[in-house]
Amino acid sequence: MMRENSMKSDEPIGQTTAVVADTLYDGTGSPPVHDVAIVLEGGMIASVCPVGRLPGNVEIMARAAIAIPGMIDLQINGGGGVLFNDEPTPEALEKMAAAARKGGTAFILPTYITAHGQGFADAMEAVEKAIAMGVPGILGIHLEGPFLSPKRPGIHPRDAIRPIGNEDIAVLSRDIGGPRLITLAPEEAPDGSIRELCNSGAIVFAGHSEASFEDMEKAAGEGISGATHLFNAMSQIAGRAPGLVGAVLDNDRLYAGIIADGVHVHQANLRLAAHSLGPDRLCLVTDAMSTLGTALESFDLLGKQIFLRDGRLVDMNGTLAGAHIALDECLRNMMRFTGINAAEAVQMATSAPAHAVGLGATLGRVASGYRAALTLMDEDFKAVSVVIDSKLYPST
Active site residue 280: no
- Alpha-carbon gap, residue 163 to 318, rounded angstroms: 27
Query: What value does the mean pLDDT of the chain take?
Result: 95
Question: In percent, how much of the chain has pLDDT > 90?
Answer: 93
Inside any domain, residue 5: no
Q: Are residues 255 and 173 in the same domain?
A: yes
Q: Which of 73, 215, 261, 287 is catalytic?
A: 287
Same domain, 49 and 84: no
Residue 219 sits in a domain whose CATH number is 3.20.20.140
**Is residue 132 assigned to a domain?**
yes
The CA–CA distances, whole Å, from 39 to 17, 51, 59, 366, 385 equal 6, 10, 9, 10, 17
**Beta-bridge partners for 17:** 40, 59
Under the banding of pLDDT at 50, 70 and 90, the label for residue 8 is very low
Is the pLDDT at 28 greater than 80? The verdict is yes
b/e map 319-355, b = 16+ CB within 10 Å: ebbbbbbbbbbbbbbbbebbebebbbbbbbbbbbbbb
CATH for 50? 2.30.40.10
In this structure, the answer to whether residues 36 and 99 fall within a common structural domain is no
88 and 182 housed in the same domain = yes
- Verify that 88 and 143 share a domain, yes or no: yes
The share of the chain scoring above pLDDT 70, in percent, equals 96
Instruction: Confirm whether 97 is domain-assigned.
Output: yes
How confident is the model over 294-308, as a mean pLDDT?
Answer: 93
The rounded distance, in Å, linking the Cα atoms of 396 and 385 is 7
Please tell me the predicted confidence (pLDDT) of residue 12.
53
Are 204 and 340 within one domain?
A: yes
Same domain, 224 and 320: yes
pLDDT of residue 6: 38
Same-domain status, 123 and 141: yes
pLDDT one-digit tens code per residue, 34-75: 999 999 999 999 999 999 999 989 999 999 999 999 999 999
Q: Is residue 319 over pLDDT 70?
A: yes
Alpha-carbon dihedral 296, 299, 301, 304, rounded to 10 degrees? 140
Q: Is the pLDDT of residue 150 over 70?
A: yes
**CA distances for 77 relative to 73, 113, 204, 288, 366, angstroms:** 10, 8, 18, 6, 27
Q: Which long-range contacts (CB under 8 A, 24 or more apart) does 54-60 make?
A: 54/18, 54/20, 58/16, 58/17, 58/18, 59/15, 59/16, 59/17, 59/18, 60/17, 60/18, 60/19, 60/20
Q: Is residue 301 part of a domain?
A: yes
pLDDT at 298 over 60: yes
Strands 203-206 and 180-184: parallel
SS3 55: coil
| Whether residue 31 sits in one domain with residue 157 | no
Crossing angle of helices 327-338 and 267-277, in 10° steps, is 90
Residue 387 lies in a domain: yes
151 and 271 inside one domain: yes
Query: Is 191 a member of any domain?
Result: yes
3-state secondary structure of 155: coil
Residue 13 has pLDDT above 70, yes or no: no
Let me know if residue 225 belongs to a domain.
Answer: yes
Question: Parallel, antiparallel, or unpaired: how do β-strands 82-83 and 78-79 relate?
Answer: antiparallel
- How far CA 159 is from CA of 147, 156, 163, 182, 318, in Å, comes to 12, 9, 12, 19, 20
pTM for the structure as a whole: 0.95
Based on the fold, state whether residues 32 and 85 are members of the same structural domain: no
The reported pLDDT for the residue numbered 396 is 78
Distance CA 381, CA 330 (A): 10
Q: What is the mean pLDDT of residues 307-328?
A: 94
SS3 37: strand
Condensed to tens digits (0 to 9), the pLDDT of residues 332-369 reads 999 999 999 999 999 999 999 999 999 999 999 999 99
Are 124 and 36 within one domain?
no
Amino acid 292: pLDDT = 96
Residue 1 confidence (pLDDT) above 60: no
Helix (H, G, I), strand (E, B) or coil at 356: helix
Please give the helix or strand (H or E) that residue 323 lies within, else none.
Answer: strand 320-323
**Per the structure, how many domains does the chain have?**
2
Q: Per mean pLDDT, which range of 3-7, 68-72, 246-250, 265-269 is the poorest?
A: 3-7
Q: Which residue type, as a one-letter code, is found at position 75?
A: Q
* pLDDT value, residue 14: 61
- Cβ contact 288:84 at 8 Å: no
CA distance 95 to 80: 6
Q: What is the mean pLDDT of residues 71-94?
A: 97
pLDDT tens-digit readout, 159-182: 999 999 999 999 999 999 999 999
What is the domain range of residue 389?
A: 17-68+369-394
Q: What is the pLDDT of residue 4?
A: 34
In a domain, 4, yes or no: no
